Amino acid sequence: MPTLSNYWFQETDFRGNTTYASTPHPAGGWAWVNWSNIGDKHSTLCWEREDREVTYDLVSLLNNPAVLNLIDNNLGGSANRTSALRVGWVPRKYLPYSSSGGPLDLFLRMSFDFHISTPWYCSDADGHIDYILVCYLDGGGRLNGYVDGWAYHYDGGGPFCTGEISSRLSAAVPGAIGTLQQQLTTFLSLLGRQQFDMLYYLPGSAQKTGSGNTNVDNSVSLALLPR
Amino acid sequence: MENSNSLLNDLLKKLQEALDEYNCKSETHVTDKEALLSGKFSYYKERYTVMIHVKDQDFNPLPDGAGKFLKDDAEILKFIPSLEHQFQNAQKSNCSHEEQTALKTKFMTLAEEAGREFLTKMNK
């Protein structure tokens, strides 16, 4: 039985706080969703989900000790991670760097918060580090992925330490990409024999029934249609 | 860069020498673009802190950074999931456009034959 999932986003271009509802329905029959009050929402999406769909909640998948240790080791003494990993989608037009292609091409943003302690004459710094990932199916229907870019932002570090902090982060954050790419390639190669017809992302944990709230900037699932 | 580093090191060294006269033990930190000197000392039972920050006038570090790691690959671009171009994959759904057209054509052929047969029976 196919499932219709309906998503309402607080921001335009399918971003921010997301209200969802999923309803299984007979093929060729109506699928209906009653919204008593959808509130302050500015974009919406619907997806008709096939029975063969396989989903992976990327937040659950990536918040495992192996991945977290990898990230912490790469940060070294540059910063301390202070949150779990968030994995959301980001349309190309909202990437933190310029990138050519369709403005609504979807990238994954893996992000986490950090803290940097400073000497007594500066305030400590708190911020977040983002890695931008791309997943796609090649012409043969095989899953591929790569790390496309990075970003960081923080508050604090004043009045004298922002130069030192930015310098350390500008070296450490892109410096970890090689290790991340290596692990991503290893993981994807395990699925190398399987071919898929389609890859797409779904907000939150990709529930097939019921309704709820999530934030698509921080939580998405990877969905695949095996061939 | 070398000149800047040398100047900053030299300047801080002289400042440290001056502070030594007040029994101020200080620490320095020098990079290509800026230098910091920090110290604390007491003078007639009053405690003082010293902070000196010297920087290139054009050096204004920002609290954010970003970079693209790989060039956009035209071959990959056409496969990236997109909210804009999802329809391009529509033919890959459970029942593709071609399959639906074939089913419709097959039914129309059957319906035309049935129609002809019906008319033949009517005319008898």
- Asked if residue A22 has pLDDT above 70, the reply is yes
Classify the C-alpha dihedral B77-B82-B85-B89 as positive or negative.
positive
- Taking an 8 Å cut-off on Cβ atoms, the answer to whether A136 and B69 are in contact is no
Cα separation, B14 vs A60, in Å, equals 56
pTM confidence score: 0.85
Restricting to A residues 4-33, those with a Cβ less than 8 Å away from any Cβ of B are 14
pLDDT of residue B90: 54
Q: What is the pLDDT of residues A73-115, one digit of tens each?
A: 888 877 899 999 999 999 999 999 999 989 999 999 999 999 9
Classify the C-alpha dihedral A198-B102-A1-A194 as positive or negative.
negative
pLDDT of residue A90: 98
Q: What is the pLDDT of residues A207-221, one digit of tens each?
A: 999 999 999 999 999
Residue A211 belongs to some domain of the structure: no
Let me know: does A7 contact A27? Beta carbons within 8 Å: no
pLDDT of residue A127: 97
pLDDT of residue A18: 97
A187 vs A147, higher pLDDT: A147
The length of chain B, given as a count of residues: 124
Round the average pLDDT of chain A to a whole number and report it. 92
Q: By percentage, how much of chain A surpasses pLDDT 90? A: 68
Domain region containing A131: 57-190
Radius of gyration of chain A (CA): 20
Residue A198 belongs to some domain of the structure: no
Cα separation, B22 vs A62, in Å, equals 56
Q: Does B36 touch chain A (CB under 8 A)?
A: yes
Residue from A123, A193, A195 nearest A155 by CA: A123
Q: What is the pLDDT of residues B14-49, one digit of tens each?
A: 999 999 999 998 999 888 889 999 999 998 889 999
- Taking an 8 Å cut-off on Cβ atoms, the answer to whether B53 and A160 are in contact is yes
Residue A126 belongs to some domain of the structure: yes
- Taking an 8 Å cut-off on Cβ atoms, the answer to whether B31 and A174 are in contact is no
| Chain B residues with CB-CB distance to A154 below 8 A | 63-64
- Taking an 8 Å cut-off on Cβ atoms, the answer to whether B83 and A106 are in contact is yes
Residue A7 belongs to some domain of the structure: no
Of A45, A91, A164, the CB nearest to B31: A164
Q: What is the pLDDT of residues A1-19, one digit of tens each?
A: 889 999 999 999 999 999 9
Which amino acid appears at position A139 of this protein?
G
Cα separation, A159 vs A127, in Å, equals 16
Scanning every residue of chain A, which has its alpha carbon at the shortest distance from the alpha carbon of B66?
Answer: A151
Residue A122 belongs to some domain of the structure: yes
- Taking an 8 Å cut-off on Cβ atoms, the answer to whether A166 and B65 are in contact is yes
pLDDT of residue A54: 92
Of A100, A163, A169, the CB nearest to B65: A169
- Asked if residue A52 has pLDDT above 70, the reply is yes
Q: Does B89 touch chain A (CB under 8 A)?
A: yes
| Chain B residues with CB-CB distance to A122 below 8 A | none
Residue A128 belongs to some domain of the structure: yes
- Give this complex's ipTM: 0.81
Q: What is the pLDDT of residues A141-164, one digit of tens each?
A: 999 999 999 999 999 998 889 999
Q: Per the structure, how many domains does chain A have?
A: 1
Reduced to 3 states (helix: H, G, I; strand: E, B; else coil), residue A206 is: coil
| Chain B residues with CB-CB distance to A138 below 8 A | 79
- Asked if residue A189 has pLDDT above 90, the reply is no
Phi, psi angle pair for A59, to nearest 5°: -65, -45
Residue A153 belongs to some domain of the structure: yes
A with B: how many residue pairs have Cβ under 8 Å apart?
Answer: 124
Cα separation, A4 vs A210, in Å, equals 11
Helices (H), B73-96: 74-77
